[in-house]
Amino acid sequence: MAPFSHFLRDVQQILFRDAEQHAIPSMDGALSPNDALDRCRPVGAPLPGADDVAEGPDGALYVSAGRQVLRLSGAGYETRAVLAEFEAEVGGLAFHPDGRLLACIAGRGLVALERDGGQRWLTQAEDQPLRGLTAVAATAAGAIFMSEGSTLNRLAQWRHDLMQKNRAGRIVVCGPELDQPRVVLRGLAYPHGLAVSADGRFLWFTESWSHRVSRAAIDGRGLGRTEVIIGNLPGYPARLGRAAAGGFWLALFALRTHLTEFVLREDDFRDEMMRTIAPDHWIGPALATTGDALEPMQNGGIKALGIQKPWAPPRSYGLVARIDEEGETVESLHSRVGGRYHGITAARDAAQGLVIASKGAGRVLLAAPGATS
pLDDT at 83 over 80: yes
Domain tally, the chain:
1
pLDDT value at 3 more than 80: no
Would residue 262 count as lying in a domain? yes
Residue 1 has pLDDT above 70, yes or no: no
- Nearest to 146, CA basis, from 133, 156, 161, 128: 133
Spatial contact of 100 and 113, defined as CB atoms under 8 Å apart: yes
Buried b (16+ CB within 10 A) or exposed e, 186-199: eebbbbbbbbbbee
What separation in angstroms does the CA of 297 have from each of 235, 303, 314? Answer: 17, 13, 8
Quick check: is 4 in a domain?
no
Q: How confident is the model at residue 6 (pLDDT cuts 50, 70, 90)?
A: low
How many percent of the chain have pLDDT more than 70? 89
Low-confidence winner among 86-90, 156-160, 292-296, 327-331 (lowest mean pLDDT): 292-296
Q: Residue 214: inside a domain, yes or no?
A: yes
Through-space distance between the first and last CA atoms of the chain, rounded to whole angstroms: 51
Whose CA is closest to 147, among 132, 160, 166, 164?
Answer: 132
Calculate mean pLDDT across residues 268-291.
93
**205 lies in a domain?**
yes
How is the beta sheet containing 202-207 ordered, strand by strand?
Answer: 191-196, 202-207, 212-219, 222-230
Instruction: Give the span between the Cα atoms of 38 and 2, in whole angstroms.
Output: 48
2 inside domain: no
Residue 131 lies in a domain: yes
Using the predicted structure, report yes or no on whether residue 324 has a pLDDT greater than 80: yes
Q: In terms of residue numbers, what domain contains 100?
A: 27-287+304-367
Query: What is the percentage of the chain residues whose pLDDT exceeds 90?
Result: 81
Containing 147, the helix (H) or strand (E) segment is strand 144-148
Instruction: Give residue 153's region: left, alpha or beta (phi > 0; psi -120 to 50).
Output: beta
Distance CA 242, CA 232 (A): 21
User: Does the residue 166 lie in any domain?
Assistant: yes
Helices H, strands E: what count in the chain? 4, 28
Using CA atoms, how far residue 207 sits from 9, 25, 71, 188, 271, in Å, is 25, 17, 29, 7, 23
Q: Tens of pLDDT along 164-176? A: 999 999 999 999 9
Pick from 203, 197, 205, 231: nearest CA to 217: 203
Indicate the pLDDT class of residue 221, thresholds 50, 70 and 90.
confident
* Beta-carbon count within 10 A of 75 CB: 7
240: CATH: 2.120.10.30
The pLDDT of residue 21 is 52
pLDDT over 60 (residue 9): no
Q: Kindly report, residue by residue over 230-260, the tens digit of the pLDDT.
A: 999 999 999 999 999 999 999 999 999 999 9
- Determine the Cα–Cα distance for residues 23 and 26; give it in Å rounded to an integer: 9
The angle at the Cα of 71, spanning 65 to 73, to the nearest 5 degrees, equals: 130
Q: Which helix (H) or strand (E) holds 204?
A: strand 202-207
Element (H, E) at 268: helix 267-276
Q: Which residues contact 178 (CB under 8 A, 6 or more apart)?
A: 110, 112, 120, 121, 122, 144
Q: Read off the amino acid at residue 89.
A: E
Helix axes 267-276, 258-265, angle to 10 degrees: 100
Whether the pLDDT of residue 17 is over 60: the answer is: no
pLDDT tens per residue, range 108-159: 999 999 888 899 999 999 989 999 999 999 999 999 999 999 999 999 999 9
d(CA 336, CA 125): 40
- Measured CA to CA, the distance from residue 183 to residue 129 in angstroms comes to 12
Residue 312 has pLDDT above 90, yes or no: no
Output the pLDDT for position 300.
57
pLDDT at 316 over 80: yes
Is residue 204 within 8 A of residue 213, CB to CB? The reply is yes
Whole-angstrom distance, CA of residue 293 vs CA of residue 304: 18
Q: What is the pLDDT of residue 222?
A: 79
Is the per-residue pLDDT at 12 higher than 80?
no
- Specify if 298 maps to a domain: no
